[in-house]
A and B are shown apart, each in its own frame.
Chain A
Amino acid sequence: MAENTFERVKKIIVEHLDVDPAEVTLEASVKDDLGADSLDVVDLIMQFEDEFGLEISDEEAEKISTVGDIVSYIEQKQQ
């Protein structure tokens, strides 16, 4: 399950931010390492919402920093 969520998240990030898949690790910071700006983050959040069928509030979105944060947030929501 964990890998599955990570792979799906990774695919969206690679596609959207046009980054090398190798750079998208659990530790990578979406903004600092992968170069997303604030609107990229909003756009990514929307795509995660669509992909995983959940809603990520603005407040929760603000706490997200790394790819790992996203994966664990989604998995926690899905339980």
Chain B
Amino acid sequence: MKSVGILGTGAYLPEKVVTNKDLEKLVDTNDEWIVTRTGIRERRVAAPDEATSDLAVKAAQRALEHAGISAEQIDLIIVATVTPDMFFPATACLVQDRLGASKAATFDLSAACTGFLYGVSTAAQFIATGVYKYALVIGVDCLSRILDWTDRSTCILFGDGAGAVVLGPVEEGYGFRSYELRGDGSGGDLLKVPAGGSRMPATEETVKQRLHSVVMEGREVFKFAVRVLSTATEEALKKAGLTKENIDFLIPHQANIRIIEAAVKRFGLDENKVIVNLDRYGNMSSASIPVALNEAVEQGRLKKGDTIVLCGFGAGLTWGATVLKWSLE
């Protein structure tokens, strides 16, 4: 098996900033309440003429540029999203066309907030086995499009964004060291968009009842997230033959600062090793981890040889973690 790692990262955040103050005009809430309960201060919202593929293409172009790989060299494109441009064709196909990645295989992957982790884990297998050489994995969501903007318990939590990575062969011993991917469909009702699929197709009634937007059992999801954030990280470390003392950086899914704080406390990790960006972007679903990773790269925080854990959790329920030995200078 070849060693597989990240050759480049990129991100794109829509220009429009929506602050907590702005939300006070839409729902009965306030800045202080949102900040203490979630840690979120503002989030980005895609422009009316911007769709998921538009965000994805911009993030992908930056990742390709950073990696020094051309679109024509890409063998596989995976777009992890729950807000595709449309049911079909896959958003990955739209992205392929815009990038000019003519030889790439293309598919979307649906694992909600864990989507980016599922995506990189899947793409890495093709490269490790030598089937493909370069893959582009994009975590992207426009959750603003599926929020109920009259529901103060959910609309304050999410934002739009895209993060991308180029995967390819790296020096022996570097790159991905372990994968831990999990699912538990018995928790499927805790976080979902009820209508619009084959179970409950769109009707006038489903629209009236606001069944096309995100509904969440906040407390149950909170408990689930705190527990799996630490167990998945532990499991991935164990598989890599490492312990928490080896972690240089933990990049968790950015759902809520209180989840991260509670999990880190349980796990017993120095909070300076935890990368957080949800104060500025909210929960961007599958985009949260790659956007945070890209920021850490841009800020020069990651050094070659650092041990990095990416850990995600979300609707499905799905969760997982992967351990990376950082391969870039």
**Which A residues are within 8 Å of any B CB, using their own CB?**
37-39, 42-43, 45-46, 58, 61
Contact = CB atoms under 8 A, between A and B. Distances in A.
B262 A43 contact: yes
Contacts of A61: 219
A57 to B, nearest CB: 10
Nearest to A43: B262
B36 A37 contact: yes
Given A43-B262, A58-B219, A58-B220, A38 B37 contact: yes
Interface string B251-269: 0000000100010000000
Given A58-B219, A58-B220, A39 B226 contact: no
B223 interface: yes
A42 B36 contact: no
A46 B223 contact: yes
12 contacts: A37-B36, A37-B37, A39-B222, A42-B219, A42-B222, A43-B226, A43-B262, A45-B223, A46-B226, A46-B227, A58-B219, A61-B219
Interface residues of B, number: 11
Contacts of A58: 217, 219-220
Contacts of B226: 43, 46
Would you call the interface of chain A mostly helix, strand, loop, or mixed?
Answer: helix
Contacts of A45: 223
Contacts of B37: 37-39
Given A37-B37, A39-B258, A46-B262, 12 more contacts: A37-B36, A38-B37, A38-B219, A39-B37, A42-B222, A43-B226, A43-B258, A45-B223, A46-B223, A46-B226, A46-B227, A61-B219
Interface in B219-249: 219-220, 222-223, 226-227
Contacts of B220: 58
Nearest to A50: B266
Contact of B223 (A37, A38, A42): A42
A45 B258 CA distance: 15
- Which of A39, A46, A58, A61: most chain B CB closer than 10 A? A39
A21 B51 CA distance: 53
A24 B43 CA distance: 38
Nearest to B262: A43
Contacts of A46: 223, 226-227, 262
A28 to B, nearest CB: 21
Contacts of B223: 42, 45-46
B283 to A, nearest CB: 15
- Which of B220, B223, B227: most chain A CB closer than 10 A? B223
Contacts of A43: 226, 258, 262
Nearest to A58: B219
A61 B37 CA distance: 19
Contacts of B219: 38, 42, 58, 61
A39 B262 CA distance: 10
A61 B262 CA distance: 18
Nearest to A46: B223
Interface string B33-77: 000110000000000000000000000000000000000000000
A36 B184 CA distance: 31
A52 to B, nearest CB: 15
Interface string B10-42: 000000000000000000000000001100000
A7 B48 CA distance: 56
A39 B219 CA distance: 8
A51 to B, nearest CB: 12
B220 to A, nearest CB: 6
A37 B37 CA distance: 8
